[in-house]
A = this chain, B = another copy of it.
Amino acid sequence: MSNSVSRREFMNLLGATFGTNALIQMGSALSLMPTTASAASLSLAAPIAGKGKVLVLGAGISGLTVAWELTKAGYDCTVLEASNRAGGRVMTVRSGDVVDEIGNNQVCEWDNEPHMYFNAGAARIPSTHRNLLGYCKELGVELEMFINESKTAYVQDDAMLGGARIRNGEMSTNVRGFLAELFAKCYTSAQLDQPFSDTESEKILGLISQFGDLNENMLYKGSSRAGYVSGGFLDHGIQKDMVAFKKLMESQMLGLSFTANEGETGPMLMQPVGGMDMVIKGFTRALGDKVVYKAPVTGITLKDDGVDVSFERDGVRQSISADYCFNCIPSHLMTGIPNNYPSDYFESMSSIKRGEAYKSAFQAKKRFWEDEDIYGGISWINAPIQQIWYPPHGIHKAKGVILAAYNFGGGMHFTKMSQAQRVEAALAQGEKLHPNYREMVEKPITIAWHRMNHMLGCSGRWGSGFGGWTDEIQTLFDRLQQPTPGGRHYFIGDQVSYHGAWQESAIASAHWALADMDLRARNMGV
């Protein structure tokens, strides 16, 4: 019976664990250097006399981390930032802010209230991002819950249900019900060669039933998990009709509820009260006038005993020498700045690709989603806008800021559009989910990271982004993570991590560099 399933086939899952921890991807090697240095474990020595001047290039979160840690250790730090604000892709837009997109300058005209903001870049903090959370604690950044998943938010796909919206919870409940009934039928009918005992089978069928909310005959007949049509408090609730699986299957989005709320986008998540840039403000508050704005770097010269950096300020070219330099300028901008990097180092820097990302937001005249039982969470759309986020803060206030599009991986779609085209795309799609959308929203802000001044791209990506990590990439990465010869210059940021686009990665990169510098300073006295 060639297609039977034997107990042997499940022995691994049933009884055994892998003997050793498995590496997720091949080609991985643990660095000899500390890889998981946390703020708590960083214990930097005071600078050696005459070796304490540090230049940090770029006030992104990795640069700010370095400046803050070295300041605490007694170094004399200066941070040069090209733009008029710190944070890089940690950017919150509020009333009066200028969005410095090249060719598409915008001024935010939303109501000036604490809850009326939009996190145009980083927006979520997973509970496992310990270093970032450590800095929030250390720097007094107040945090609150954030949720990704709301069962009352919608899924919308022109290919499914004639384009009608369906609640997240209704779609997932029907998908689960169908799969569970199918699973139970297959399990019962499959030639299983009796791999499980009766007791085990009973437990497995119990789990299948719980998964799909099946009835006592292991059939899916709808479920209150999908929500009621009405009632439930003073009468037996009237259950929603089941949705035909054939109709749902027209969509590619059915697996959303299995994939979208796992790992770093699963519960629980947090956000700073008042906007993600409260993290940045925490650092800049602590650093005071050590951060110099509107000071674009114009040249880097590595020397045996330090680094010379030239920059412009108020139209005047200036130069500073430092004993150490930590550089988080985006790789693709850095390669255009005059420098004397070794050719292999420059090659590594040049090999980093850039993620594409686009977000837009509106001020909503009214928090209309709350009338639809939605308080936070994400609606998923099979169209370029991809997602609509409802604010989890400012509940029941008069207005709110709604994220109208979050396109990742295909951001050039919007990047190439005019502001008017971007806005119309968001409205045309948004009103498929909320019929009164066009009347309810105003004062759009759009952010195409490939056109944002001083950035011109989103997160650094090695290889093809997801997977595709080759030996060649490993060589390029390792080279760039190491300091330049002599140990006086480090390239840092999420661009020098395996996991771009997260603040925790940028901090991890900074911590790696700090630990490496500290070790060299202690051991070699350089």
Residues of A within 8 A of B (CB): 3-5, 9-10, 12-18, 21-25, 27-31, 35-36, 127-128, 130, 133, 136-137, 142-147, 149-152, 169, 173, 175-179, 181-183, 185-192, 200, 203-204, 206-208, 210-211, 213, 220-222, 224-225, 227, 229-246, 249, 254-255, 258-259, 262-263, 266-268, 270, 370, 373-377, 392-393, 395-396, 469, 481, 497-499, 502, 504-505, 508-509, 512
Given contacts A27-B236, A152-B268, 8 further A-B contacts (CB under 8 A): A5-B185, A14-B244, A15-B246, A18-B242, A127-B150, A183-B183, A207-B254, A233-B505
| Residues of B contacting A142 in the complex (Cβ-Cβ under 8 angstroms) | 395
Is A30's CB under 8 angstroms from B235's CB?
Answer: yes
Is A267's CB under 8 angstroms from B149's CB?
Answer: yes
- Picked from B23, B268, B395, the residue with its CB within 8 Å of the CB of A144 is B395
A508 with B234, Cβ < 8 A, contacts A255-B210, A373-B130 known: yes
Instruction: Give the number of times this chain occurs in the complex, counting copies.
Output: 2
A18 with B241, Cβ < 8 A, contacts A191-B189, A258-B211 known: yes
| Residues of B contacting A267 in the complex (Cβ-Cβ under 8 angstroms) | 147, 149-151, 267, 377
| Residues of B contacting A128 in the complex (Cβ-Cβ under 8 angstroms) | 152, 227, 373
| Residues of B contacting A235 in the complex (Cβ-Cβ under 8 angstroms) | 28-31, 35, 498
- Complex CA–CA separation, A373 to B125 (angstroms): 11
Is A373's CB under 8 angstroms from B127's CB?
Answer: yes
Is A192's CB under 8 angstroms from B186's CB?
Answer: yes
**Whole-angstrom distance from the CB of A210 to the nearest CB of chain B?**
4
Q: Which residue of B lies closest to A233 (CB)?
A: B508
- Picked from B24, B143, B190, the residue with its CB within 8 Å of the CB of A237 is B24
Among the interface residues A206, A481, A499, which one has the most CB atoms of the partner chain B within 10 A? A499
**Whole-angstrom distance from the CB of A511 to the nearest CB of chain B?**
9
- Complex CA–CA separation, A455 to B240 (angstroms): 36
